[in-house]
Amino acid sequence: MTDILSKKLESKIDKKLISKAKRKTLDDGFKKGKVVNEVLDKPTVMTLYKMITDHIIAYVNGAVSAGKESVLFWGVDENDSDVALKIYLVSTSNFKKREPYILGDPRFSNVKKGTKNLVYLWAKKEYRNLTQCFEAGIPVPKPLHVTNNVLAMEFVGENGAPGKSLLDSQVDEDDYKQSIQIILDMYQKAKLVHGDFSEYNIFKTQNGLVVFDLGSAVDLRHPNTQEFLKRDINNITRFFKKRGVSVEDTDKLFEDIVK
């Protein structure tokens, strides 16, 4: 099986990221849980391989952006449609800071100890949040599949380049209204609060705004829901105000959303 996997990866995954996995076996590239570029450890490679054999994706072109907790890869499915593969880093300790967004969410009451388990749960949580939003008609990347630390979803962008965020775009009053509408719809329709809503986590596309990075989103039954909601409103309001856009009173917005 390792022979088949190595050949698959040689032609499908970015050569720079798997230079150590090009041999007939995976031994040298993955000794004792070693990772390649902090992303492609052996379990992650096996997860990608399974996604290929399960026909979820056809191949992976390579990484297109990276953060402290995850790396975004540009994949392609068997219909030549682009797929975003969000691979959560199992080698990072940042996820320990994310426990407050999981503990207290009744959808995830059984949290196993260990960084790997927390990372896998976070991927599952983001997939579920995306699904709830997508089914409620909220503009998010369409969720496609999740296995272990790999989340597959619609690719927002063109030719492997992710779309521009609000931070890197010219914004106007319509963008502000759309942003507030997303917060309201997430709360009233999807029964979620984003928890990390900002200019960094919203794409501006030709068809309107698209919100992403929903791993932090919590169920309305979470004890810190209202605190997170106020923070989301304040953060996005502060951004638009700095850009010279007329904004509404944040306290009034909060009351209108939760009523």
Q: Which of 196, 219, 232, 251 is catalytic?
A: 196
Counts for the chain of helices (H) and strands (E), in that order: 6, 11
List phi, psi (to 5°) of 60.
-125, 130
Angle at 58 between CA 55 and CA 62, to 5 degrees: 135
CA 178/CA 244 separation, integer angstroms: 16
Q: Which of 41, 105, 185, 213 is catalytic?
A: 213
- Establish whether 213 is a catalytic residue: yes
Residue 78 DSSP class: T
189's tokens? 């329709």
140's tokens? 């998010």
Chain Cα centroid distance, residue 79? 23
- Establish whether 3 is a catalytic residue: no
Residues annotated as catalytic are: 196, 213
